[in-house]
A and B are shown apart, each in its own frame.
Chain A
Amino acid sequence: MHKTLRTRRIALLATAATASLLLSACGGGSASGSDVKAFTLTINDDNHIVQQELTTLGKGSCASQNKALPLKIQTLPIGNVDQKVQLLAGQNALPVQFAAGGTPQLTKTLDKAGQVLDLEKTLKDLGVWDDLQPAAVKTVENLYGKFNVMPYQFNIEGIWYNKKLFADHGIAVPTTYDQLVAAAAKLKGAGVTAFSADGKEGWPLTRLISGYIYRELGPDALQAVADGKAKLTDPAYVKAAQAIADLGKAGYFGKGVGSIDYDTAAQQFLTGKAAMYYMGSWALGDFNDPAKNKIGADNVGFMPFPAVAGGKGSADQIPANVGLPVAVSAKSYNAKVGDWLSCISKNYGAASLKDQGTVSGFKPGGDTGTLPPLTQTVQDTISKTKTSTLWFEALFNTKATETSQTNAAPLVNGSLSAKDFMQKIQADLDNG
């Protein structure tokens, strides 16, 4: 009897110890504004522009803010950023700033849970709201429903082309999709890869699909899918995927598009091996860099995705995005963070143009230096754009986004039909 009692006592003790350990493990670290020690930023490692520019500001215009709350950057591969943010959010331990991730969906969810700082209110309170480009504010609102990310980048997207290759083969800049296809055929006939595309990541391919959809069905076409008013499996949408699949079938993307990554695709265009390259204006940094751009910046032209005959959209509706937006944690906001945000809002626009040659969502208030002509073209296009569109996956959930991007290469190399491609994505949208 004595022995059993003792065993029981030990068992009880063990249970209690286990329970207490578990409970303490669950507590997690909750950050609050008062104990923020650094102006932390978690961002994907392939985005150098934001990191470099914030570091530069920390040494220059925002040196005093940096002294009060030092900037600390943590980089991760892009696929891991969302995971890390989700896990940290679950523990109330988000860094002060974090990349808003692959889809706006995650930021919306975080916002619902009270984790994301309302930047419209904050920046208005700080008196720096007027330092933002209205077009960027509009794009963020389109994406997130409200203004809650820092627009460190503001990009337009379209087709960049090699002027010399076009001239050599007697090709005029296409204004309709049929002309684009004809140009591609002519280039292929001459042994030039028509389009260089990063099929490994897939998104540069799916953006061609959304380009076609917007031209054919108008700028609200993908919002209609998000609202459930249309389905990607509707014939008009499948037709867009088919159009891009046909480009692949004709061999316009070159060999092995599924194995070509971002850098290789850029290199193909910048060494003159490919004539066209669908990309966002964040690539200006590469275009303006003579070490990378072997064809010369003067040789690069920009055209919007051309109009589709009989379509409801037009070529002046340009896809715009805020690149890799960065959200601010609501739980770690304090006066020092506010100082940083207001310094960034005042200085980032000009500094980003001057140092990186890229356009941001902040007004360039100060000295921007002399802009390279290509950057100037982009600036002008942005100021002229009245209606902007979003990219293909902008309103999708995470799973549908991944399905779309991983199946883009099979779509263009013919192992997946256009109908099945759209069907797969629609299934993920329906289940999300």
Chain B
Amino acid sequence: MRSVLGDRRAIAVLLGPALLVYTLVMLVPMGWSLGYTFFKGNVIEGFTFGGLGNFDKLWHDPQAHSALWFTFKYAIAVSAGQVLCGYLLALLYVFVLRKSSAVVRTLVFFPVILPTVAVALMFQKLFAVAPQNGLANVALEGLGLHHGDWFAGAGGSFVVLVVMDVWRSMGFYGVLIFAGLLDIPDETLESARMDGATGWRLIRHIVLPLSAPVLLSSVVFSINGTLKVFDSVLALTNGGPGSDTTPLTLYMFRTAFSYGDYGYGSTIASLLTVVCLGVTLIVFRFSRRDLTKG
């Protein structure tokens, strides 16, 4: 084996095709996109070199700032919701429902496989005030709470968006963390119980530290997914009202493909890349600490 991997020719033959495909479908478009950031113009009229003009524009563009802020706000709210609900669900599966959790697990997981557009349409109707009051409004009004038009303001739209995305994906995180919790040896739990740890103390001192690795993976998954949110926003609010729920991805897409400004669109894309890279680095820095000793 060593002799095969020591042979450069063998390495080239083994890695070459994969590397070539990767280069073609990943690195070249990325480089291409990075190149676009220095250009102005569009596909119809052609491109002219614009230097750092696009970056300057990005720095001063209030819409880009609000899109960036919305992206962070959304990522934090939805990630927290997803992981927290997922964790609670997993605890429910393992400690309350135990062996009979299969049915509940399936039901809660079901929204994960539904198409986003269908879910978004359903939530639009649930929270609608016109042409008729949606079910969510009817229920709230039954409790004496009157909200009015959820989609009329930034706050209401954001709440519906977060509720929808947490509902849609908590089943996935529930199963992910459930798998992690199953790895905790029964003996450990048993001995902790014999030592008198029950309820919250058992979870705080035994379950939480032992499930820290899977929890961290969930957070990484969740943050990376939510920073790149696109489909649910597009289908539920289309970035509105106005541009109040427009994340960077949607702003980038619109700039490049609706307004035909590939250069500036690529510049926004590069900002998104930097954000994702930064967040991933931060998360991994935390992950290097041994959480069991926290």
Interface window among A53-61, A283-291, A405-413: A405-413
In angstroms, Cα B260 to Cα A89, docked, is 12
In angstroms, Cα B37 to Cα A319, docked, is 40
Task: Flag if B241 contacts A406 (CB, 8 Å).
Answer: yes
Name the distance in Å between B231's Cβ and chain A's nearest Cβ.
15
In angstroms, Cα B16 to Cα A407, docked, is 52
Task: Flag if A398 contacts B259 (CB, 8 Å).
Answer: yes
**117-156 of chain B: CB within 8 A of chain A:** 124, 128-131, 149, 151-154
Q: Mask for A22-65, Cβ within 8 A of B = 1, else 0?
A: 10000000000000000000000000000000000000000000
Task: Flag if B152 contacts A109 (CB, 8 Å).
Answer: no
Most chain A CB neighbours (cut-off 10 Å) among B45, B131, B238:
B131
Of A87, A110, A258, the residue contacting B240 (CB under 8 A) is A258
In angstroms, Cα B130 to Cα A413, docked, is 14
Interface window among A78-86, A163-171, A377-385: A78-86
Of A22, A82, A264, A409, the residue contacting B258 (CB under 8 A) is A82
Q: Which residues of chain A have C-beta atoms less than 8 A from B260's C-beta?
A: 82, 86, 106, 109, 398
Task: Flag if B24 contacts A18 (CB, 8 Å).
Answer: yes
Task: Flag if B23 contacts A6 (CB, 8 Å).
Answer: no
Q: Which residues of chain B have C-beta atoms less than 8 A from A112's C-beta?
A: 45
Q: Which residues of chain B have C-beta atoms less than 8 A from A370's C-beta?
A: none
Of B16, B57, B130, B154, the residue contacting A259 (CB under 8 A) is B130
In angstroms, Cα B42 to Cα A113, docked, is 11
Q: Is A388 an interface residue (CB 8 A)?
A: no
Task: Flag if B257 contacts A83 (CB, 8 Å).
Answer: yes
Name the distance in Å between A93's Cβ and chain B's nearest Cβ.
12
Interface window among A152-160, A206-214, A249-257, A329-337: A249-257
Name the distance in Å between A263's Cβ and chain B's nearest Cβ.
10
Task: Flag if A259 contacts B241 (CB, 8 Å).
Answer: no
Task: Flag if B20 contacts A14 (CB, 8 Å).
Answer: yes
In angstroms, Cα B129 to Cα A410, docked, is 15
A202 (CB) vs chain B CBs: closest residue = B240
In angstroms, Cα B266 to Cα A275, docked, is 47
Contacts A255-B130, A402-B254 given: A113-B44 contact, CB under 8 Å?
Answer: yes
Task: Flag if B242 contacts A399 (CB, 8 Å).
Answer: no
In angstroms, Cα B244 to Cα A415, docked, is 11
Of A3, A83, A258, A397, the residue contacting B151 (CB under 8 A) is A258
Q: Which residues of chain A have C-beta atoms less than 8 A from B23's C-beta?
A: 18
Task: Flag if A18 contacts B28 (CB, 8 Å).
Answer: yes
Contacts A86-B44, A89-B43, A398-B260 given: A407-B242 contact, CB under 8 Å?
Answer: yes
Of B9, B131, B242, the residue contacting A406 (CB under 8 A) is B242
Which chain A residues have a beta carbon within 8 Å of chain B's beta carbons? 3, 6-7, 10, 14, 17-18, 21-22, 79, 82-83, 86-87, 89-90, 106, 109-110, 112-113, 115, 254-260, 264, 267-268, 397-399, 402-403, 406-407, 409-410, 413, 415-416, 424, 431
Can you show 18 pairs from A to B with CB atoms below 8 A apart?
A3-B9, A10-B16, A17-B20, A22-B28, A79-B258, A112-B45, A258-B149, A258-B241, A264-B131, A267-B131, A403-B242, A406-B238, A406-B240, A410-B152, A410-B241, A410-B244, A413-B241, A416-B241
Which chain B residues have a beta carbon within 8 Å of chain A's beta carbons? 8-9, 12, 16, 19-20, 23-24, 28, 42-45, 57, 124, 128-131, 149, 151-154, 238-244, 254-255, 257-260
| 9 tightest A-B CB contacts, nearest first | A90-B43, A256-B130, A256-B129, A407-B242, A410-B241, A256-B149, A413-B152, A83-B257, A399-B259
